Amino acid sequence: MNYMEEYQSKLTTADKAVQVVKSGDTINYGEFMMVSALLDEALAKRKDELTNVKIITTTCPFQPKAVLADPHKEHFIYNDWHFSAASRKLHDLGLCYYMPLVYHEAPTFYERGYVPIDVAFIKVAPMDEHGYFNHGTSCSMTPAFCDAARIIIAEVNTSVPKCLGGIRESIHISDIDFIVEGHNEPLLQLPEVPISDVDNKVAELVLEEIEDGACLQLGIGAMPNAIGAMIAKSDLKDLGAHTEMLVDSFVDMYEAGRLNGRRKQIDQCKMVYTFAMGSNKLYDFMNDNPACAAYPVNYTNDPYIIARNKKVVAINNAIEIDLYGQACAESSGTRQISGTGGQFDYIFGSYKSEGGKGFICLSSTIEGKNGELESRIKPTITLGGTVTDPRTVNFYVVTEYGKAMLKGESTWKRAEALINIAHPQFRDELIKEAEKMKIWVKTNKIS
């Protein structure tokens, strides 16, 4: 049987393909922009036939119809490894549950059987002449859950870019059980996030720390975007990329001639990533582009792989920082906002890198529900909040008021450094709290 004959033998409709799902099954949807809305919609139609079906995803960018069709969770239980805005809204309704992880470990959960998968729903690019379907913009843990699944259903979408590897960036037709041809709708694009004056000030402070030949990791959000935009306009040379998330800023830096990867120690001249989210500019750039290399997350986010490159600069966000240096980047109290993701991996890995630096960036304040300013540097993490980066691992913290380097510093020195970069309106109050917490001495100085 040739590949096209095998393709035709496995070709079916979405409604027929999802008939393989049974009550009690665990289904793994795809990841990020590679979640199949078509297969989700077909599953939603079977709601009344099924009970106790667990759905797992990674940062699904939309609210699945299967979940919306079952507001009392009588049929489906929905779980996400890392929250999107859509998952956050569902969580607020009690319809989505977070799955804690350190991102680089994720494939091992499937390999060791901790997360048994019955059916995998994936979205892929069209088959090539060798019988392979490319995983598109998300390599992450997709190969691992496909390996674990008893049945794999693939939606083929012509809008999915062919993203070169790396390793495991494609799946062979022999491993797929059912093929569904989609409506070829374009990939979802991230909305443009406005960059504020504070974002730009923080970006300027971080830019001071980046040297020629540095290897970059950028997280999601306006602040990393601001840093990427400034780098594109800078005179920095021979930058590299080894990141979990590929975003539009990397395209800007590459096209400006700032980023070429020539000085990298591994994957030289390649932008290494595990998933991508952005605009069509990014997706078009990635398509069949040898400058990019997709890898599973147990490669991109392994701190010891990260550290094999010199001068790793990791740039991420946080929701709040306490005076001990603990960073919360994923929850507001008990309300889940996002997830640990790879932030811990890269902060840890950047320190292991020769000449590396890891930055947690945030504005010093946020507007509270009552319209008044609240400090994002706090005496302690808000009750119920999650510590994403322990004080033992955190490296640099940056606000618009400056930089605090925490490595090797005692609790009283950390408190001093962090209060120095807090908003001036809150510094006296933070000093009083530090005194109560026994982490302040008379020689402390506040600028």
| Residue 231 and residue 239 in contact, taking contact as beta carbons nearer than 8 Å | yes
End-to-end CA distance of the chain: 75
**pLDDT tens across 319-334, in order?**
999 999 999 999 999 9
| Structural domains of the chain ordered from first start | 3-181 (3.40.1080.10), 197-436 (3.40.1080.20)
Give the pLDDT score at 220: 78
Q: Which of 179-193, 312-326, 382-396 has the lowest mean pLDDT?
A: 179-193
Q: Is 244 among the residues known to form the active site?
A: yes
What is the percent of the chain where pLDDT is above 70?
A: 100
- State the alpha helices, DSSP H only, in 222-361: 222-232, 248-255, 280-286, 297-300, 303-306, 343-352
Which pLDDT score is estimated for 74? 97
Mean predicted confidence (pLDDT) in 198-214: 96
The answer to whether residues 192 and 391 touch, using CB atoms and an 8 Å cutoff, is no
Provide the pLDDT confidence category of residue 445 given band limits of 50, 70 and 90: confident
Provide the strand spans (E) within 59-118.
76-80, 97-98
| Contact call for residues 180 and 153 (beta carbons, < 8 A) | yes
Distances (CA, A) of 138 to 143, 159, 164, 301: 10, 14, 11, 14
What the block records as the tokens of 136 is: 């598109």
Sequence-ordered list of residues with C-beta below 8 angstroms from that of 432, at least 6 positions apart, any chain: none
Strands 320-322 and 327-328: antiparallel
Instruction: Please say if the pLDDT value at position 247 is more than 90.
Output: yes
The residue-averaged pLDDT of 395-419 equals: 98
Please identify which of the residues 155, 244, 320, 433 carries the catalytic annotation. Answer: 244
Question: What are 27-67's pLDDT values in tens digits?
Answer: 999 999 999 999 999 999 999 999 999 999 999 999 999 99
Higher pLDDT, 224 or 178: 178
Q: What is the pLDDT of residues 72-129, one digit of tens each?
A: 999 999 999 999 999 999 999 999 999 999 999 999 999 999 999 999 999 999 999 9
Mean pLDDT, all residues of the chain: 96
